[in-house]
Amino acid sequence: MEFTEYEKNILLVSLDHMKEHLEAIEHEGVITEDTYNLRTEAVKTAATKIKEMNKIKWNQETLQHFKFQSNYTGAEEVLKAVTSFVECDCVPEDGETETELIADLMFQIYK
């Protein structure tokens, strides 16, 4: 079972509200600082895991190649190379589009 993007966004917004709630009740003294820290860390790691769900898994050599290229050429040239790579060497899976693959690879290169 997988979440849709809409469902993931709802979960992330809910976690953001949870963080605000934790800050408020910690400030009011309802929970201890230790409890606040534990719960805040759980909210943070849950949000990270949701953001990482279904992320495209790129071959590390591919990533390193384009990261290396990005150190010596501009983003426009890297985008051209990534687009060519995706169009010629990648096969979208599970409803992915080439545009999504290009965007994800560019994000992975520059994150």
String of b and e for 12-38 (b: at least 16 CB within 10 Å)?
eeebeebeeebeeebeeeeeeeeebee
**Residues 48-91: pLDDT tens digits?**
888 777 578 899 999 999 999 999 999 999 999 999 999 999 99
Query: What is the total count of domains within the chain?
Result: 2
Please indicate, yes or no, whether residues 29 and 64 belong to a single structural domain of this protein: no
**Residues 14-61: pLDDT tens digits?**
999 999 999 999 999 999 999 999 999 999 999 888 877 757 889 999
Which residue, 63, 51, 58, is CA-closest to 8?
Answer: 51
> What's the pTM?
0.55
Please indicate, yes or no, whether residues 13 and 46 belong to a single structural domain of this protein: yes
Please indicate, yes or no, whether residues 48 and 65 belong to a single structural domain of this protein: no
Please indicate, yes or no, whether residues 36 and 72 belong to a single structural domain of this protein: no
Segments forming the whole domain that contains residue 41 = 5-52
Please indicate, yes or no, whether residues 23 and 64 belong to a single structural domain of this protein: no
Please indicate, yes or no, whether residues 76 and 43 belong to a single structural domain of this protein: no
Please indicate, yes or no, whether residues 9 and 31 belong to a single structural domain of this protein: yes
Please indicate, yes or no, whether residues 66 and 35 belong to a single structural domain of this protein: no
